[in-house]
Amino acid sequence: MATKKNKQAEQKEKKKREQLKKLVEGAGMGLGFFVLFGIVIIPGLREKMGTALNVVLGPLAEFVGPDNFLVTVLLLTVVTGIYTSLVQKYTMNWELMEKSKKYQKQMREIQKEYFEARKEKNSHRMKRLEKRRAEVMSKQAQFSGELMKQQMKPMAYIGIITFPVFMWLWKYAAVYSGGGTVIFPLIGTKELTETFVFSLPYWMFWYLVCSFPLTVVIRKALGIRSAV
């Protein structure tokens, strides 16, 4: 009797923890999507984010030095890279992602075999492969909604930190730095507000150049698998 009561108490406690977890996840995702879409639809939000974050990041930029703005960008690339990687590691269902990759591999193999069968005009083999393809697609469809949710969840959490950092960089380059110049590797001296392809600021190009190799190193250091 006591054992039954204990099990019921454990089940209730487990249910409460799951509900709390869902509540926290929902609040986090809501905040993340507010940041992501609020920047576009709420006038002045980008400037307000940049101003608010300057309380924290302004002293960092001053410590590194206005002339070393690229170093500040590099440091923030490391911070956002670690944060992004940790979010992906602890919010994604990696078993589901592995299953998705397995089905994608099966689909590629079926497509390859189907192409060969069509070249050979082997109608019997083509029909068999079409049946296999339909089965794999049916299995994929069973968890496609959950898979999309798994891919969207990290984006929402990542936006909470990463987008405000970008807004601060934007405002710092335009306002707080006084619109100075920096020397970009292989490019030369450019103004911080100067843009090139698709009106992309040179400092953002520098961020992206630093981000890709650093993210690979960080993910390997944290033992994070690829999501694709």
Q: What is the CA radius of gyration of the chain?
A: 24
Cα(82)–Cα(78) distance, rounded to whole angstroms? 6
Residue 95: band (very low, low, confident or very high) from pLDDT cuts 50, 70, 90: confident
Q: Are 157 and 87 in contact (CB under 8 A)?
A: yes
Q: Where in 110-221 does DSSP place strands (E)?
A: 181-184, 188-191
Cα(81)–Cα(166) distance, rounded to whole angstroms? 13
Interval 21-67: pLDDT, tens: 666 666 666 666 666 655 655 667 778 888 888 888 989 888 888 77
> For residue 67, what are its two tokens?
């002339």
Give pLDDT, residue 93.
76
Interval 122-179: pLDDT, tens: 888 888 888 888 888 887 777 777 777 777 777 778 888 888 888 888 888 877 666 6
Q: Which residues contact 172 (CB under 8 A, 6 or more apart)?
A: 50, 54, 57, 58, 61, 69
If you average pLDDT over residues 81-90, what whole number do you get? 87
Q: What is the pTM of this model?
A: 0.69
Give pLDDT, residue 178.
63
For the chain, the average pLDDT equals 79
Give the distance, in angstroms, between the CA of residue 61 and the centroid of all CA atoms in the same chain: 25
Give pLDDT, residue 9.
66
Residue 6: band (very low, low, confident or very high) from pLDDT cuts 50, 70, 90: low
Give pLDDT, residue 35.
64
User: Is pLDDT at 15 greater than 90 in this prediction?
Assistant: no
